Structures are given as structure tokens and as C-alpha cells.
Amino acid sequence: MSRILIVEDEKKIARFLELELSHEGYEVLTAGDGRTGLETALREQPDLIVLDLMLPELSGIEVCRRLRHESDVPIIMLTAKDDVSDKVMGLDMGADDYMTKPFAIEELLARIRVGLKKHRDGASGAPASVLKAGQLTLDPSSYAVSFDGQPISLTKKEFDLLHYLMLHKGQAVTRDALLSDVWGYDYAGDTNVVDVYIRYLRHKIDDVFGIRTIQTIRAVGYMFIYE
């Protein structure tokens, strides 16, 4: 039985989620503020966390940031805000997915299933191969990226996006495919989140090292082209 931690200060929402998840067969833990949520997550080691963005004591962003120093537990962030900058901030701190309130419980349950499956597959699968393109190297086992031996600091979501594009080198990948495969099941965010992260990668890699790694395919998406 998978254990899910709900960190939510709105009691009605927390109780609703607890009942729904319990009905689906999950063991449910709850916390009503960020500090308690962080302590519970580190102590109980849940299989997935549903984490509200706006919390007393510690914000969801700060909880996520601190957790990522200790754990790779899947995190789905919930918030009443629907601004791209908020989504990007949460994902930058290591959240795996993002949902805006109000949300359909069926969609949240689907994302929880996918989050748990991805985490299990990642934990049980064979070590992923190191990817190389020219002087650019990406090592999935250590989340390390370097160019000609020089480390490149990427957030988890930037790393995941680059990894996906390198795996599909020479193929045009649509924004919808990136949202689905990198951000998770039927990600409901705006597709311009992809564009924002592509700009981040270009700024950290192309602009710094004077190369061209990702080509924009007009009206389609992107293609990794660096050899």
C-alpha cells in the first residue's frame, strides 16, 4: 500500500483529499503547516506528497526545496494561483507536477498514479546510460551535466527536459508531448511553460558555450540538434 502525505492548511480540502485517497486504498498522512509537513515527510518517508503552495510556518516552495536535499519523493504541488511564474518556481524547486485549485479529484488521482509509477520504474529500472552530444555530457544516474568537463547547474525539471530532448535527438518533439512526458500525465499548465524552460536551457548552455543545441520547429515544438 502506497503512503501519501497531504500538506494542506485548508481543513476542508485536507479532509476531502484524505477521504478520497483512503477510499482509493492509499495510506494517508496529513499535516496542516509547512514545518510539520517537512518533519513528517522526513520522518515517515511517504511514497508521494501532495503539497499546497501557500502554507503557514514554511511555504510549499521552501518545503519542496528542503526536501530535495534529502529525498526524490514525487511531489505534486497545489495552489490557488494560476500564474506561469508560480508554476515555474515550484517546478524549479523540484516539484514533479502542479495543479491549480479548484481541480477535479479524478485528475489528481490520475496524476498520483502516474507519479507513483514513474518513481517505482525509476527506482527499479536498470541504470540509465550516459548521453553524449559533442562535448555535452548528461549522466542520469547522478543528475550531472557538463560541457567539455565543465559542470552545468540545472534544476531537476531543466535536467529532465534536456534528458528527454537528447534521448530524441534529431526528432521534432511537440510541446504537448513534452508536457505529457516530462511534466506528467496530461499536464494542465499552459504550453508556454515549455518555452520558458527551453529559454532556461539555451541561456545556461548555448549562450555560455557558444553552441546551438535546440532548434525551434515552428508550429510544432523543438528538436535537439547538437552533434
Q: Read off the CATH number of the domain in which 210 is found.
A: 1.10.10.10
Q: Are residues 16 and 105 both part of a single domain?
A: yes
CB burial of residue 221 (10 Å; 0-12, 13-18, 19+): buried
Q: Read off the CATH number of the domain in which 89 is found.
A: 3.40.50.2300
Q: Are residues 220 and 194 both part of a single domain?
A: yes
Mean pLDDT, rounded, for 8-26: 94
pTM of the model: 0.62
Backbone φ and ψ of 33, nearest 5° = -150, 165
Q: Are residues 142 and 194 both part of a single domain?
A: yes
Q: Are residues 8 and 87 both part of a single domain?
A: yes
Q: Are residues 68 and 180 both part of a single domain?
A: no
Outline where the chain has alpha helix (H): 11-23, 34-44, 60-67, 84-92, 105-124, 156-167, 175-178, 192-201, 207-209
**Which residues are paired to 48 by β-bridges?**
4
Distances (CA, A) of 135 to 55, 132, 158, 159: 43, 7, 18, 17
For the stretch 130-176, pLDDT in tens is 899 999 999 987 889 999 999 999 888 889 899 999 999 999 999 88
Which residue has cell 536535499?
A: 69
Give the HSE-up count for residue 5: Cα atoms under 13 Å, Cβ half-sphere: 28
In angstroms, the CA 138 to CA 152 distance is: 10
Q: Which domain holds residue 44?
A: 3-124
Predicted pLDDT of residue 145: 94
Predicted pLDDT of residue 100: 83
In angstroms, the CA 206 to CA 199 distance is: 10
pLDDT category of residue 50 using cuts at 50, 70 and 90: very high
Is the predicted pLDDT of residue 188 greater than 60, yes or no? no
pLDDT category of residue 81 using cuts at 50, 70 and 90: low
CB burial of residue 173 (10 Å; 0-12, 13-18, 19+): buried
Q: Are residues 18 and 97 both part of a single domain?
A: yes
Q: Are residues 167 and 91 both part of a single domain?
A: no
Contact 42, 69 (CB under 8 A): no
Predicted pLDDT of residue 128: 64
Boundary-marking domain end, from 105, 124, 143: 124
Boundary-marking domain end, from 124, 141, 172: 124
Q: Are residues 199 and 96 both part of a single domain?
A: no
Predicted pLDDT of residue 123: 53
Q: Are residues 74 and 137 both part of a single domain?
A: no
**Sheet strand arrangement including 131-133:** 131-133, 136-139, 144-147, 150-152
Q: How many domains does the chain have?
A: 2
Is the predicted pLDDT of residue 190 greater than 70, yes or no? no
**Which residues are paired to 170 by β-bridges?**
none
For the stretch 94-135, pLDDT in tens is 788 888 888 889 989 988 988 888 777 765 455 568 899 999
Boundary-marking domain end, from 89, 106, 124: 124
